[in-house]
């Protein structure tokens, strides 16, 4: 199950530096964590999760395999991208293929790094990209809505429901608001995704600050955090420069470097986790002497569908899921202790898998 987070931003905001740091970090972890560069601008990174180390230690697992998130370094944007300016068409097509957007915003002053708009203003930069996405969506919907309206008036129930959803999106877009703010029923979620609207993607704002502000941000990043709160979007602070320096250091030296700059962990860890949470993803684990492994599912996934992430046969022949909460597995020193302590549960087809569950699936072959 692959999830893609597209990194977008204006030129000279630190977008590619951040992406390069992400991929360098993953490459440096290759001895323990699977990593691949699918294309020059696509990289898969491990989602940091200290629970895996605990599970592997208890079970004596020979290998640790974390879950992963794909980041895509999308071509830079200029005004007019929605009309094909610059690499606009490529930019918009690449975003459409992603599940979420990591919007890198420049929140630092540097006379040696020219800003395409002439000065640093993160909220203006956000508006520039947001406007291009909304203009592209507006054009797309207006081309489709008339034909669909005819079907809806002809009594096509599915067309009527979709037309109503499109109309609500159009109202927002014409007011200058992104489609992700549209109010939908749970059963409309798939239909909204099917519309392929760029501004409907969930957004993570990544505030790229100067080195001195890496731990707490600055006045510019505070403006972005305030906007993110209004939109119910996610927001993190990083210094892309620091992250690129950390990424190439040997593991033994990274801790000292982080302490020297006042960071408890690399900022990239926060970016990765925030991207994971933004997509409403959770993790369950399988543990044994061979490997301790994390698996990605969407929050609200039932046990048989969670099993299908490992192999489709697991879902087809699903019987039960032996389930231990991570806290119980750790406190009772593994499966045997959890079983003896009455903390191992047998869950059926309707069980909603919880984040941190340690699962063993029973199934018919």
Residues 51, 326: contact at Cβ < 8 Å? Answer: yes
Residue entry with tokens 């045997």: 336
Query: 146 phi and psi, to 5 degrees?
Result: -65, -45
Q: Is 15 a known ligand-binding residue? A: yes
Q: How far apart are CA 295 and CA 35, in angstroms?
A: 15
- Give the Å distances, CA to CA, from 157 to 19, 148, 154: 45, 11, 9
* 267 in a labelled binding site: no
CA atoms within 13 A on the CB side of 16: 8
Distance CA 94, CA 36 (A): 19
Q: Binding residue per annotation — 219?
A: no
Residue 14 assigned to a binding site: yes
Residues 6+ apart with CB under 8 A from 154: none
**DSSP notation for 41-77:** TEEEEE---THHHHHHHHHT-SEEE--EEEEEEPPP-
3-state DSSP call for residue 197?
coil
* d(C-alpha 291, C-alpha 310), whole Å: 14
Closest CA to 214 of 269, 140, 161, 138: 269
Binding site as annotated, residues for ATP: 12-17
Binding site as annotated, residues: 12-17
């Amino acid at each position: 199950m692959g999830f893609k987070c597209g990194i977008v931003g204006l030129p000279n905001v630190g977008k590619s530096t951040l992406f390069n740091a992400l991929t360098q970090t993953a490459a440096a972890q290759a001895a323990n964590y699977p990593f691949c560069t699918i294309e020059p601008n696509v990289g898969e990174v491990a989602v940091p999760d200290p629970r895996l180390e605990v599970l592997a230690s208890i079970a004596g697992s020979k290998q640790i395999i974390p879950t992963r998130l794909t980041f895509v370094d999308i071509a830079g944007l200029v005004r007019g991208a929605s009309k094909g300016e610059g690499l606009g068409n490529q930019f918009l097509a690449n975003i459409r293929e992603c599940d979420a957007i990591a919007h890198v915003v420049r929140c630092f002053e540097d006379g040696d790094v020219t800003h395409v708009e002439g000065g640093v203003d993160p909220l203006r930069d956000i508006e520039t990209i947001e406007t291009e996405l909304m203009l592209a969506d507006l054009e797309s919907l207006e081309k489709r809505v008339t034909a669909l309206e005819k079907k809806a008036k002809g009594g096509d129930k599915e067309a009527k429901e979709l037309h109503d959803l499109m109309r609500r999106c159009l109202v927002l877009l014409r007011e200058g608001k992104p489609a992700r703010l549209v109010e939908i029923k749970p059963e409309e979620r798939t239909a909204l995704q099917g519309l392929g609207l760029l501004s409907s993607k969930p957004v993570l704002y990544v505030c790229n600050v100067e080195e001195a502000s890496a731990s707490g941000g600055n006045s510019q990043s505070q403006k972005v955090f305030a906007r993110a709160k209004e939109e119910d979007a996610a927001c993190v602070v990083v210094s892309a420069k620091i992250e690129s320096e950390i990424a190439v250091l040997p593991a033994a030296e990274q801790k000292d470097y982080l302490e020297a700059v006042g960071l408890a962990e690399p900022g990239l860890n926060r970016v990765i986790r925030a991207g994971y949470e933004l997509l409403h993803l959770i993790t369950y684990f399988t543990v044994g002497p061979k490997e301790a492994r994390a698996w990605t599912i969407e929050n609200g996934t039932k046990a048989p569908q969670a099993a299908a992430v490992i192999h489709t046969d697991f879902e087809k022949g699903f019987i039960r899921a032996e389930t231990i909460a991570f806290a119980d597995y750790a406190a009772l020193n593994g499966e045997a202790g959890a079983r003896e302590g009455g903390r191992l549960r047998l869950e059926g087809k309707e069980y909603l898998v919880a984040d941190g569950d340690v699962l063993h699936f029973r199934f018919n072959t």
